[in-house]
Amino acid sequence: MSNENILNSNGNDVSYLEYKGKHTGILGWLLSTDHKRIGLLYLISLSIFLVVGVIFGFLMRLELLTPGRTIMDPQTYNSIFTLHGVIMIFLFVIPGLPAVFGNFFLPILIGARDVAFPRLNLLSWYLYAIGGLLAIISILIPGGPADTGWTFYIPYSIRTNTNVIPALFAAFILGFSSILTGLNFITTVHRMRAPGMDWFKMPLSVWSLYATAWVQILATPIIGITLLLVGIERIFGVGLFDPALGGDPVLYQHLFWIYSHPAVYIMILPAMGVVSEIIPVFAHRTIFGYRFIAMSSIAIALFGSLVWAHHMFTAGMSDTGQLIFSLLTMIVAIPSAIKVFNWVATLYKGSIDLQPPMLYVLAFIFQFSIGGLTGIMQGVLSVDIQVHDTSFIVAHFHYVMFGGTGFGFFAALHYWFPKMFGRMYNIKLAKRVFWALFVGFNTLYFPMFIMGWLGMPRRYYDYLPEYQIYHVISTIGSWILVPALFLMFGNLIYALFKGVRVTEKNIWGGETLEWQVATPPVHENFIDIPVVTESPYQYKDNELVLQTQEAK
Amino acid sequence: MSVQHSAAAHIHRDDVASRMGMWLFLFTELLLFGGMFILYSVYRFTHPEDFHLAAKELNTVIGTFNTAILLTSSLTMALSIAAIQRKQKTLSILFQLLTIILALGFMVNKYFEWGAKFHHGIYPGSDTLLSRPSGEILFFGLYYVMTGLHGLHVIIGVVIISFMTVFTIRDVITHDNYVKLESAGLYWHLVDIIWIFLFPLFYLIT
- Residue B32 near chain A (CB below 8 Å): yes
Question: ipTM for the complex?
Answer: 0.90
Cβ <8 Å between B6 and A7 = yes
What residues of chain A lie within 8 A of the CB of B16, using their CB?
Answer: 191
B145 → closest Cβ in A179, A191, A229? A229
What CA–CA distance (Å, rounded) separates A257 from A305? 10
Helix (H, G, I), strand (E, B) or coil at A525: strand
- Residue B9 near chain A (CB below 8 Å): no
B124 → closest Cβ in A21, A238, A255? A238
Question: For residue B196, which of B64, B36, B46 has the smallest C-alpha distance?
Answer: B64
Q: Which residues of chain B have pLDDT under 50?
A: 1-10
The angle subtended at Cα B130 by Cα B128 and Cα B132, nearest 5°, is: 80
What residues of chain A lie within 8 A of the CB of B47, using their CB?
Answer: 246
Helix (H, G, I), strand (E, B) or coil at A500: strand
From A19's Cα to the closest Cα of chain B, the distance in A is 12
Q: Which of A238, A527, A529 is the best substitution to test chain B (most B C-beta atoms within 10 A)? A: A238
- Residue A244 near chain B (CB below 8 Å): no
So what's the pLDDT on residue A478? 97
Kind of pairing between the strands at A423-424 and A500-501:
antiparallel
What residues of chain A lie within 8 A of the CB of B138, using their CB?
Answer: 239-240, 245-247
From A7's Cα to the closest Cα of chain B, the distance in A is 6
B124 prior amide bond cis, ω within 30: no
Q: Which A residues, 65 through 124, put their C-beta within 8 Å of a C-beta on chain B?
A: 113-114, 116-117, 120
What residues of chain B lie within 8 A of the CB of A186, using their CB?
Answer: 20, 24
What CA–CA distance (Å, rounded) separates A132 from A137? 9
Smallest CA–CA distance from A217 into chain B, residue: B28
So what's the pLDDT on residue A310? 94
What residues of chain B lie within 8 A of the CB of A117, using their CB?
Answer: 17, 21
Smallest CA–CA distance from A246 into chain B, residue: B134
So what's the pLDDT on residue A12? 61
Domains of chain B by residue range: 21-204
With contact defined as beta carbons under 8 Å apart, do A340 and A369 qualify?
yes
Cβ <8 Å between A225 and B20 = no
What residues of chain B lie within 8 A of the CB of A239, using their CB?
Answer: 124, 134, 137-138, 141
- Residue A226 near chain B (CB below 8 Å): yes
The angle subtended at Cα A382 by Cα A378 and Cα A386, nearest 5°, is: 70
Smallest CA–CA distance from B34 into chain A, residue: A222
What CA–CA distance (Å, rounded) separates A438 from A448? 16
A520 prior amide bond cis, ω within 30: yes
Q: Which of A113, A172, A187 is the best substitution to test chain B (most B C-beta atoms within 10 A)? A: A187
| pLDDT tens-place string over residues B152-177 | 999 999 999 999 999 999 999 999 99
Which pTM was predicted? 0.93
Other Cβ atoms closer than 10 A to A61: 20
The angle subtended at Cα B34 by Cα B33 and Cα B37, nearest 5°, is: 90
- Residue B7 near chain A (CB below 8 Å): yes
Smallest CA–CA distance from A232 into chain B, residue: B145
User: What dotted CATH number matches A37-551?
Assistant: 1.20.210.10
- Residue A13 near chain B (CB below 8 Å): no
What CA–CA distance (Å, rounded) separates B132 from B136? 6
Q: Which of B28, B50, B128 is the best substitution to test chain A (most A C-beta atoms within 10 A)? A: B28
From A190's Cα to the closest Cα of chain B, the distance in A is 8
Cβ <8 Å between A222 and B32 = yes
Q: Which helix (H) or strand (E) holds A423?
A: strand A423-424
What CA–CA distance (Å, rounded) separates B181 from A398? 47
- Residue A218 near chain B (CB below 8 Å): yes
- Alpha-carbon dihedral A426, A429, A433, A436, rounded to 10 degrees: 170
First-to-last alpha carbon distance for chain A, in angstroms, is 43
What CA–CA distance (Å, rounded) separates A345 from A350? 9
- Residue B3 near chain A (CB below 8 Å): yes
User: What dotted CATH number matches B21-204?
Assistant: 1.20.120.80
Domains of chain A by residue range: 37-551
**One pLDDT digit (tens) per residue for chain A, 552 residues:** 334 334 444 556 788 888 887 888 888 899 999 999 999 999 999 999 999 999 999 999 999 999 999 999 999 999 999 999 999 999 999 999 999 999 999 999 999 999 999 999 999 999 999 999 999 999 999 888 999 989 999 999 999 999 999 999 999 999 999 999 999 999 999 999 999 999 999 999 999 999 999 999 999 999 999 999 999 999 998 889 998 888 999 999 999 999 999 999 999 999 999 999 999 999 999 999 999 999 999 999 999 999 999 999 998 889 999 999 999 999 999 999 999 999 999 999 999 999 999 999 999 999 999 999 999 999 999 999 999 999 999 999 999 999 999 999 999 999 999 999 999 999 999 999 999 999 999 999 999 999 999 999 999 999 999 999 999 999 999 999 999 999 999 999 999 999 999 989 999 988 899 998 999 999 889 988 889 888 888 776 544 444 333 443
Q: Which of A214, A245, A526 is the best substitution to test chain B (most B C-beta atoms within 10 A)? A: A245
- Residue A333 near chain B (CB below 8 Å): no
Using CA of residue A190, residue A195, residue A198, residue A200, what is the dihedral sign? negative
Smallest CA–CA distance from B32 into chain A, residue: A221
What CA–CA distance (Å, rounded) separates A188 from B67? 37
Cβ <8 Å between B28 and A255 = no
**How many CB pairs below 8 A link A and B?**
115
